[in-house]
Chain A
Amino acid sequence: MDRKTILEKGLLLNYLLGELNAKDERLIESALQQDKVLRQEFQKLESDFERIALENAIAPPQQVKRSLEKVLNKERDNTDIPVKPLNTPGAFNPARLLVAASLAAIFALTSFWFYNQWQTAEENIRIAREEKEQLQESLQKLSEEMQKVNTMYAQLNDKDVIPLLLKGNTLAPEARAIAFVNHKSKSVVVNPKALPALSEEETYQMWADVDGEMISMGLVPTDQELVALTYIDRAESLNITIEPKGGSDHPTVERLISNAYL
């Protein structure tokens, strides 16, 4: 590139400012090396701009130099570690702070959410465990009752069972009770559902007549489907009386309402 073109295009200023691409820069540098006049022109330009810059200098704060000295001293101490680049504009970049704050907020929110989820899950597990326990309890109760019923049913259905109908006498003509007697297994079960309800102060009691003596077989509450009573050997008849609440040692014969022979 010749001097005229360079001067006319004002490329020396572009070169001075560092605006040229690598190829043009090399062209100008080689022209400057070969052309003394051009070189002088460039030197004048450099001087002019240096003067302008010095005339418009602004004294930087003292701390910049101190900081520079610190950086260079650190570099000497750690020659392997490169000097920290200072591209970042200051430590308190608001954008960075904002990003950090946002991340912290997101972290806090997600943590809170996860904590809530965890607590809810814990609560659900607790409720499920309680429900399971309740169900197990109910199941056990039902099983026990079913076993009871099964036992009763087995007792009633046994081929050795003799059902006896105890009809009410004139004192209680409506009264009916069925006794299931098994001499083999020595058991007595009574269905008292057809006995008339008594006042709270009274109860039915069953007796076995053994050689003229009445032996208590037990109380017969009417609120049960089947009542298991004590089997008495050699009983000749079964008798039902109305006794005061809690039963009696000896039957109140005046209030005998039903009897049946075995």
Chain B
Amino acid sequence: MDDTSQINRLKNGDKNALYALYDKYSGALYGVVLRMCRDKELSEDLLQEIFVTIWEKIDQFDPDKGKFYTWAYRIARNKTLNALRKTDPLIQKEDMGVYNSIEQEESGTNYEALNGVIKKLEVHHQKVIELVYFKGYTHREAHKLMGVPLGTFKSYVRQALIQLRANYPLTLLFLSICLDVFDHG
């Protein structure tokens, strides 16, 4: 499960290392990007661009500062938010009810729905994680959307993180990751 060797190979210009990381993380990143922009075509372009950036900027990744996935997530989030700012102001409206491209209606797949351990959280904790992680809202934007004061929102975030921790027993954790890699890899 360790990415270190692949990252070292990637830093040496090994494309296969990038493809291996793609196989492992593209689903997770695509899930985030697609939920953020709700546009399948745009999400596919962004995903490709994210991995091209990873390829070009891997030298800037410092494993001492954090995990590879965290770094890749930041790239994905920034690129998606920038693309959304450029493309259409309708996307990411505050009431979250207006989108100009709702792929899920066409394909019948509900991209919005969250799965896994997050479903075990209380609804408002789920919402908190969804807004800040899968929708890319800052705390200041997200608390307004939820209609609670910023302080309360931050408390929700802390509680949600504690609940997440509690819901991830170590064994289940490995099992879920293995299943996921099996499914999407």
The chain A residues found within 8 Å of chain B, CB to CB, are 9-10, 13-14, 16-19, 29, 32-33, 42-61, 63-65, 67-69, 71-72, 83, 85-90
Contacts and interface: CB of A to CB of B under 8 A. Distances in A.
Contact of B161 (A45, A50, A67, A83): A45
A-B pairs with the 8 shortest C-beta distances?
A55-B116, A57-B27, A18-B74, A53-B28, A86-B49, A89-B42, A60-B30, A58-B31
Contacts of A32: 65
A63 B18 CA distance: 16
Interface string B137-179: 0110000000000000010011001001100100001001100
B46 to A, nearest CB: 7
What is the predominant secondary structure among interface residues of chain B facing chain A? helix
B15 interface: yes
B8 interface: no
Contacts of A89: 39, 41-42, 45, 83, 86-87
20 contacts: A10-B139, A13-B157, A13-B161, A16-B66, A16-B73, A18-B74, A48-B165, A48-B168, A52-B117, A53-B31, A53-B73, A54-B177, A54-B184, A56-B114, A56-B115, A57-B184, A59-B27, A60-B26, A60-B43, A65-B19
Given A54-B27, A88-B45, 15 more contacts: A44-B165, A48-B165, A49-B70, A49-B133, A54-B184, A55-B176, A57-B27, A60-B43, A60-B44, A64-B30, A64-B44, A64-B47, A64-B48, A69-B19, A89-B83
A12 to B, nearest CB: 9
- Taking each of A19, A53, A65, which has the highest tally of chain B beta carbons within 10 Å of its own beta carbon? A53
Nearest to A33: B64
Contacts of A55: 115-118, 176, 180
Nearest to B66: A46
Contact of B52 (A48, A65, A72): A72
A69 B66 CA distance: 27
A251 B184 CA distance: 132
A58 B44 CA distance: 11
A50 B116 contact: no
B177 A58 contact: no
B26 A86 contact: no
B46 A50 contact: no
Interface of B: 15, 18-19, 22, 26-32, 34-35, 39, 41-49, 51-52, 55-56, 64-67, 69-70, 73-74, 77-78, 82-83, 86-87, 111, 114-118, 129, 132-134, 138-139, 154, 157-158, 161, 164-165, 168, 173, 176-177, 180-181, 183-184
B133 A54 contact: no
B52 A51 contact: no
Residue picked from A51, A59, A61, most chain B C-beta under 10 Å:
A51
Contact of B132 (A17, A61, A68, A69): A17
Contact of B28 (A56, A65, A86): A56
A91 B121 CA distance: 40
Given A59-B27, A72-B52, A29 B117 contact: no
Contact of A57 (B28, B43, B82): B28
Contacts of B31: 53, 56-58
A54 B28 contact: yes
A241 to B, nearest CB: 109
Nearest to A61: B44
Contacts of B86: 87, 89
B45 A86 contact: yes
B18 to A, nearest CB: 7
Contacts of A45: 161
A51 B173 contact: yes
